[in-house]
Amino acid sequence: MDNDDRIVTQEDINNSKNKKVDSEDIELTREFEPLDNNAITEESISDDEIVLDQAKESNIIDEDMNSIRNTDIYAKHNRIQKLKDKKKNKTKKTILFIIILLSILLCVGIFVAYKLNPSSADINADNKTNLEFEKMLDEKNNKNKAVIGQKEDAKKIYGVDAAKVWNSLNTYDIDNNGKKEVFLTFDDGPSTTNTPKVLKILNDNNVKGTFFVTGKAQTIDGAPQILRQLYDNGMAIGNHSYSHDYTFLYPKRIYNEKNFLSDIKKNEKKIQESLGMPNFTTRVIRCPGGQMSWQKTEPLNNYFIANDMVSMDWNSLNGDAEPPKKDAKALYDFAVKESKGKNLIVLLMHDTYGKEETVKYLDNIIKYYKSQGYEFKTLV
């Protein structure tokens, strides 16, 4: 091959390039468009082939053509890739949006479920709160249900505020506003011998009395049951100390506060135990021997006032604890004499062991007071 043969003019190159580009365009068009036989003639194919052959004679042309071809394909590839990426991104965004939406819905669902259906821990917490509240109410109700001195139904009919009676005794008010009232009181019981008989007589006469019991008496077999019978039959119950021991309560005849108060409290517990009623209490105390018999008892008054309690002595007695020993007739006479001229009578008697004459006289003295127009009341 000589030099002349290798000489190609610039115009030829341009034509060749244009022809090649046209040829490429046709090729690309064929790739993307349906073949149009009318548009591609035999002449045009022939022209293309000539130009292409000419161009192939030059490496430069081949290189340029390859470069153009590559650039064009790369651009196309890029566009497709970008389209694919764009589509992929759009899909990703859609999936992300759905995930976020589902998460929000899940959170809302959990919240609603929690509100509508609390967990077992919450239920337990609620139950615990309810139980504590009920317990508090029970304690309050039990406090309100405390039985003081006497069964409620009997107290409504027979019970009189012992503080008022105490005031009358201390002011020697025996007129009692013209109202005749007698308080039958029985000390030192309950006994298993005489107390049941006393109870029967009271019941037979449809009257009530007040029993000042000791703790010591309740230690005898059967005595607690008798105390409970007194309560069940509407009798009032007062505290007469546990020991009834003068030397312990009033050493050298002087009131000993420490001993006295501990003895009273000990008896209150014993009464609750005998009755089977931890909610029972009594505010009426009868000092063994009577408060009037002992010295320096002022602190006791202060204690009773501070604790809404009452010390209850008497203003009449039947003499069943006074010498000489009396029979039923003598007891009756003694009591009638003691009661003369008094509208308010607090009558001291005993229902403990050895007081059989008191049992014998009791029905008569009740009938006497009834005949005189007295009402039978209890101290509470």
Q: Give the residue with the Cβ less far from Zn ion, 187 or 357.
A: 187
Name the nearest CA neighbour of 37 among 53, 26, 51.
26
The distance of closest approach from Cβ of residue 217 to Zn ion in the complex, given in angstroms and rounded to an integer, is 10
Stretch that binds Zn ion, among 98-106, 174-182, 188-196, 336-344 (CB under 5 A): 188-196
The distance of closest approach from Cβ of residue 228 to Zn ion in the complex, given in angstroms and rounded to an integer, is 21
Task: Using DSSP, state whether 284 is helix, strand or coil.
Answer: strand
Residues in the chain: 380
Q: Give the residue with the Cβ less far from Zn ion, 55 or 335.
A: 335
Determine which helix (DSSP H) or strand (DSSP E) holds 51, and give its type and residue range.
helix 42-56
Stretch that binds Zn ion, among 102-110, 149-157, 184-192, 336-344 (CB under 5 A): 184-192
d(CA 42, CA 50): 12
Q: Give the residue with the Cβ less far from Zn ion, 255 or 374.
A: 255
Task: Please report, as residue ranges, which positions from 120 to 179 form the binding site for Zn ion (by CB under 5 A).
Answer: none
d(CA 150, CA 232): 9
Retrieve residue 237's tokens: 């119950």
188 binds Zn ion (CB under 5 A): yes
351 binds Zn ion (CB under 5 A): no
Q: Give the residue with the Cβ less far from Zn ion, 187 or 320.
A: 187
187 binds Zn ion (CB under 5 A): yes
Taking CB atoms, the residue at the shortest distance from Zn ion is 187
The distance of closest approach from Cβ of residue 352 to Zn ion in the complex, given in angstroms and rounded to an integer, is 8
Tell me the per-residue interface mask from 262 to 301 with Zn ion, x by CB under 5 A, - otherwise: --------------------------x-------------
Task: Using DSSP, state whether 322 is helix, strand or coil.
Answer: coil
Retrieve residue 78's tokens: 């890029």
Give the sign of the dihedral formed by CA 79, CA 83, CA 85, CA 89.
Answer: positive
Q: Give the residue with the Cβ less far from Zn ion, 52 or 220.
A: 220
Place of tokens 């006074």: 322
On whether the CB atoms of residues 165 and 377 are closer than 8 A, the answer is no
Phi, psi for 377 (deg, rounded to 5): -125, 170
Residues that bind Zn ion (CB under 5 A): 187-188, 288
